[in-house]
Structure 1
Amino acid sequence: MKALYCLLVLLATVYADVYNPQSYTDRPCGDDLGNLWLDVIAVVDNSQGMTTDGLSSVAANIATVFSSGTRIGSNTTEPRTTRVGLITYNSVAKVNADLNTFQSINDVYNGVFNDLSAVTDATDSYLATGLQAANALFAAQSFNTTRDHYKKVVIVYASEYKGYGELDPVKVADEMKGSGVYIVTVAYDQGGNGQLLKDLAGIATPGYSFSNTDDSDNVIGEIQGALLQANCFCPTDWDQYRVQFNDKNSYHYGLCLQYVSLQANWLSSKMACHTRWNNSYLATEFSQDKHNFILQVVKSDPGVKQPYKYNVGLSWLSSANNWVWEQPIGIEQVPLQVWSNWDMGYPKNVASTSGVLNLQSGSGTYWENQALMTGAANYVCETYSCDTDNYCDAQLNKKH
């Protein structure tokens, strides 16, 4: 949890300006909260255990999370908007604001401070009721609508954790996460012993469980970071580059990769990648980590056979007298720097062999240069993710 937040802070510092591939780092997810496009429901415990002071703190937290320029509501001319709903729960749940109620940040302020002004008389707090209400609201107003492609997030604020059988929150949470909903939890732990945080971590999307007692003392930043990660995704059949291949909830970058298992020469691979999605191109390998991840993408293809052999986006550019990496059309190619992965005896004469493929040797793969228009191999394409810098429509075509 804290490691994810620290990584987000570091990347936000490094990429405060528009991403520049010449930095020789892989593109992070967009971090412009003003362009956040999500459907979010805050699910808030208003039982006696939360206390009125605690509820007031939650209201302030919710309002502040969306106060960094995020466009609230729906807008026919600007699709990068976030809808915010509000549900309170104790022994039962109540929809205080559906996903169409708040149409401005002022509406959010007025709504949350009015609806979270005092706790109820109820002493029971069953989170499952709040999650069930959120699930129903998404089903009615987000899934299978014009905003079906918008990612959906629940932010839970809880003062205690209980429930079993029909009121077991884990069952509801697992169902929601299975349908693609992200769950952020904030433990309002007035006892400070950490047990509530541990319990809520069991229902949260991994890495998205926070507490008012976190050492970082920046719950708002942690929640905003989780929202930015949720708002960063790839279309179907593309793999998002992330820290750990086997953990799809590990920190992910703003890049998507696709292995194409139909052989082509290097130049044809380059041209084919340009047509596979908006601004896609033959993949880059700026680091050993990226190289290893791409190899895992290749290995995961059910039809792949050894020896692994696939084109990547490195070629010799005579005018620059250097090896360069492909980029989206219109963006300057990036000269090879720092890390390299040449097989023994390579690169060979660049006059006749100037495109690069990965070829298996032992358990790994290594770069070998080849002629641009002879030979054939499978290939890996790369493109930028859908995120706050790249809005994608219902067909996942990037529009901004």
Structure 2
Amino acid sequence: MAVVYADTYSSLSYVDRPCGTDISNLWLDVVLVVDNSRGMTTPGFQNVATNIIDIFSANTRIGSKSSEPRTTRVGLITYASNATLKADLNKFQSIGDLMDGVFDSLSNVANSADSFIETGLAMAEQLLGSQGFGTGRDQYQKVIIVYASTYQTNGESDPESIADRLKMSGVKIITVAYGDAYGLMKSLSNIASPGFAFSNSPGNAGNLVAQIQTSLLQSNCFCPDGWIQYRADYSDPASSRYGVCIQLVSLQANWLSAKMSCNNRNSSLATEFSQDKHDFIFNAVQNTTGFSPPYHYHIGLNYVSSGSWVWTQPTGRQQVPLQQPFIWSSGYPIQASSKSAVMNMQSGQGTGWQNIATMTLSANFICETYSCDTDHYCDENMNKQQ
């Protein structure tokens, strides 16, 4: 049975949907990897415990609950010369459990000057491998948060190679530097996901909770395989992401067939509410196999009998009237009742809108749907429950 979740977004506002921002509705698997060497110091260690509790809202659902799939499991690992598993992903079943466990486990530092991040990352990798998949939570995004007072290696393994392997598998890594703010943060940024390296320096401590929460919300905002997430800058993977997924379909179809094909994918033909979105889609097209110059592809703009241009929307949602900016090619739109559909057509180094007949001119096309996030849970088959 589909669960209906509130979503205040309206496409009629003519902006692209943002990622969900309700921290209480996180649905992630998170592993905390905390340095407990002498370099962390007991006050720093306790500060980490407070930071962790502050990150998760009192209403965040910790653990696993069949009645509400938007839950977050939290594991805890400490490391110095070696790593120690303090809590697996199934131990904490409430925010109270998490609070008690974190303050109990992070009360005193170890009597060791060694601080080998790779031991903590390796254990986190093992924990996610054994409990993160094959348990009905494969689609839950995986996140590791590393708190470190120094950056050392033991010569046996390389933290960067472990981090690269984790990130290649889709795991997001957040790092927090406790200590030499610039040097340590610079080193930790080599293992962090783009834009996810932070510092507890005096100038940033007040922002740290919000920065980590934003990173968790961004990690929880994702697209199923085969879809590209719209972000502020196509060339920068660390740029802010929207709650919008696009799929570039390299099948030849007329506009009406393309619209029906997107509907069958639980989506609609893509909107281009802004020049930035228009450019993002064109950049994606140029980097997708099956699309070739001169580029031309169907989008969701069309002319309706009421006498206006509108953007298609998924079944049951109101179509969105066209607003500026207008990205028509020179000489378009052509005033003809038979040319009620729109495609992007390359001219020079860019593309522009041209209106065409709905049942002619086959081309590739672009579908669009909402992302999976705190407002839209996706089940194990990546079907959105809206």
Normalised to the residue count of structure 1, the TM-score between the two structures is 0.92
Once residues 113 and 220 of structure 1 are traced to their aligned partners in structure 2, the CA distance between those partners, rounded to angstroms, is 17
Give the conservation status (yes or no) of the 8 Å contact 2:274–2:325: yes
What's the CA shift string for 1:92-115, capped at 9, x where partnerless? Answer: 110000000000000000000011
Aligned mate of 2:366, from 380, 387, 399: 380
Match of 1:13 in 2: none
What's the CA shift string for 1:172-210, capped at 9, x where partnerless? Answer: 111111111110001112x4x521111111110010001
Match of 2:182 in 1: 194
Match of 1:65 in 2: 55
Match of 1:393 in 2: 379
Shift of 1:165: 2.9
Question: Are positions 1:243 and 2:229 aligned together?
Answer: no
Once residues 237 and 247 of structure 1 are traced to their aligned partners in structure 2, the CA distance between those partners, rounded to angstroms, is 19
Shift of 1:143: 2.5
Once residues 251 and 175 of structure 2 are traced to their aligned partners in structure 1, the CA distance between those partners, rounded to angstroms, is 44
**Unaligned segments of structure 2, at least 5 residues:** 1-5
Shift of 1:140: 1.1
Give the conservation status (yes or no) of the 8 Å contact 1:30–1:254: yes
Q: How many residues align?
A: 380
Give the conservation status (yes or no) of the 8 Å contact 1:240–1:257: yes
Q: Which amino acid aligns with 1:374?
A: T
Once residues 215 and 20 of structure 1 are traced to their aligned partners in structure 2, the CA distance between those partners, rounded to angstroms, is 37
Q: Cα gap change, 1:162/1:34 in structure 2, threshold over 3 Å: closer, same or farther?
A: same
Once residues 237 and 60 of structure 2 are traced to their aligned partners in structure 1, the CA distance between those partners, rounded to angstroms, is 27
Match of 1:211 in 2: 199
Report the 3-state secondary structure (helix = DSSP H, G, I; strand = E; otherwise coil) of the residue aligned with 2:111: coil
What's the CA shift string for 1:147-170, capped at 9, x where partnerless? Answer: 121110000111111115324311
What's the CA shift string for 1:300-348, capped at 9, x where partnerless? Answer: 22222222111110011232x3211112211111111120111111111
Give the conservation status (yes or no) of the 8 Å contact 1:33–1:68: no
Question: Are positions 1:225 and 2:219 aligned together?
Answer: no
Aligned mate of 2:259, from 270, 279, 286: 270
Match of 1:5 in 2: none
Match of 1:336 in 2: 322
Q: Cα gap change, 1:222/1:214 in structure 2, threshold over 3 Å: closer, same or farther?
A: farther
Once residues 384 and 374 of structure 1 are traced to their aligned partners in structure 2, the CA distance between those partners, rounded to angstroms, is 29
Alignment of 1:1-400 (within 5 A): 18-189=8-179, 191=180, 193-213=181-201, 215-216=203-204, 217-276=206-265, 278=266, 280-319=267-306, 321-400=307-386
Match of 1:7 in 2: none
Q: Which amino acid aligns with 1:200?
A: L
Q: Which amino acid aligns with 1:205?
A: S
Once residues 204 and 65 of structure 1 are traced to their aligned partners in structure 2, the CA distance between those partners, rounded to angstroms, is 18
Q: Which amino acid aligns with 1:137?
A: L
Normalised to the residue count of structure 2, the TM-score between the two structures is 0.95
Give the conservation status (yes or no) of the 8 Å contact 2:301–2:309: yes
Q: Cα gap change, 1:387/1:17 in structure 2, threshold over 3 Å: closer, same or farther?
A: closer
**Unaligned segments of structure 1, at least 5 residues:** 1-15
Once residues 370 and 214 of structure 1 are traced to their aligned partners in structure 2, the CA distance between those partners, rounded to angstroms, is 59
| Percent of aligned positions that are identical | 57
RMSD: 1.6
Q: Which amino acid aligns with 2:131?
A: Q
